[in-house]
Homo-oligomer: A and B are copies of this chain.
């Protein structure tokens, strides 16, 4: 792990470097914001430790600058200015955490570890088919990134088909996707939905077609 320490008190910086090294952490140190920016461009740091009071300005201003440059490295602000409202200020500048001096190295380490833990995405991936993009979780359909407004039943049919693009979907599966077991249908309602869906996909120039597999079910294919 590699950290960047931006801190103007030499002794503190030295002590921190030693302490962190015992945790297997490599620390780059600078006293100036200008240098710091250059360093972040040349190295991929796991986190940045930032003092507020620095010879060439308020440390917080460094954060937006970094973010604007597209660098998302977590930042922990270390400072003697530890009043609640100052902490609010620091966090709202974009800092990931804020730690008042003096502090235990143990606590700093814990906060670094906490900052590095990342929440992963558990989103269901979008489905691409023809010009369409389908978000099955939010029932969202776009054609060439303009939203497509579909009635609920047609939408459910489409999503069920899209989830198994290029593969046949049994008629019974489609019925299950659109109707719950309480709603029994005594007619060709499903066929009607397919028909209307086809028309809408055609009008929207969606780049896909719904094929019928006689006696089995349906299938969504790019055309």
Q: CB within 8 A of A85: which of B106, B135, B145, B170?
A: B106
In the complex, identify which listed stretch (A5-13, A23-31, A199-207, A209-217) lies at the interface while the others stay far away: A209-217
Q: Is A140 interfacial (CB-CB < 8 Å)?
A: yes
Chain B contacts of A92 at CB under 8 A?
Answer: 110, 113
Asked if A97 contacts B94 (CB within 8 A), the reply is no
The interface residues of chain B lying within 8 Å CB-to-CB of A18 are none
Taking a contact as CB atoms under 8 Å apart, the answer to whether A87 and B73 are in contact is no
* Across-interface contacts of A114 in B (CB, < 8 A): 91, 94-98
Residue of B nearest to A125 (CB): B67
A118 at the interface (CB under 8 A from B): yes
Chain B residues closer than 8 Å to A98, beta-carbon distance: 114
Given A104-B88, A138-B168, A152-B215, is A96 in contact with B110 using a C-beta cutoff of 8 Å? no
Tell which of A96, A122, A153 has the most Cβ of chain B within 10 Å: A96
Chain B proximity mask over A154-190: 1 for CB below 8 Å, otherwise 0: 0100000000101111100100000000000000000
* A110 x B122 contact (CB < 8 A): no
How many angstroms between the C-alpha atoms of A142 and B221 in the bound complex? 13
- Asked if B67 and A123 sit within 8 Å, CB to CB, the answer is yes
Q: How far in angstroms is the closest Cβ of chain B from A189? A: 15
- Assuming the contacts A107-B84, A215-B152, asked whether A170 and B139 have C-beta atoms less than 8 A apart, the reply is yes
A-B contact pairs, 18 of them (CB 8 A): A88-B104, A91-B110, A91-B111, A91-B114, A94-B114, A94-B123, A96-B115, A96-B117, A98-B114, A118-B120, A138-B167, A138-B168, A140-B168, A147-B219, A149-B211, A150-B213, A151-B215, A152-B215
Q: Which 9 A-B pairs have the closest CB atoms?
A: A152-B215, A91-B110, A72-B119, A88-B110, A91-B114, A140-B167, A140-B168, A84-B104, A88-B106
